[in-house]
Every structure is written in structure tokens, then in C-alpha cells.
């Protein structure tokens, strides 16, 4: 078995902290930007009348 020193453990922990901080930054809501084509699709779907929606029964027939 190889010996692990406290210095090595500390370095690993520091590296992990840096990586976690980077992940946190990426996950922050302010970093999320929808592309224009996605925004357009969302707008289009919101304008669609509910009468065009499929019912629960229709979905179940198709998949069950």
C-alpha cells in the first residue's frame, strides 16, 4: 500500500473545492440564457389554444 500524506490529502481537498466552486458558478441561474429559437418556441406554445392539447386518455392510449 502506498502512503498518503496529509499534504496530498489537503491538495486534493483544495482542488475539489475549486472544482465545486466552478460547478456552482455554472449552475447559478444568472448564467442560464435561453437561445432565441427556444424563446420563440416557448412563446408559440403559450399562444396555442388548450383545445389543441392532447387529453390524458389520448396519451395513455398511445403509450399504455
- Model confidence over 5-63: pLDDT tens digits? 999 999 999 999 999 998 888 777 666 777 889 889 999 989 999 888 889 999 999 89
pLDDT at residue 35, rounded to an integer: 85
Q: How far apart are CA 36 and CA 17, in angstroms?
A: 34
Contact 25, 31 (CB under 8 A): yes
Amino acid at each position: 500500500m502506498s502512503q498518503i500524506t496529509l499534504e496530498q490529502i489537503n491538495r486534493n481537498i483544495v482542488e475539489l473545492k475549486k472544482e465545486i466552486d466552478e460547478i456552482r458558478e455554472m449552475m447559478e441561474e444568472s448564467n442560464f440564457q435561453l437561445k432565441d429559437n427556444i424563446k420563440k418556441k416557448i412563446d408559440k406554445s403559450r399562444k396555442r389554444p388548450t383545445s389543441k392539447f392532447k387529453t390524458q386518455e389520448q396519451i395513455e392510449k398511445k403509450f399504455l
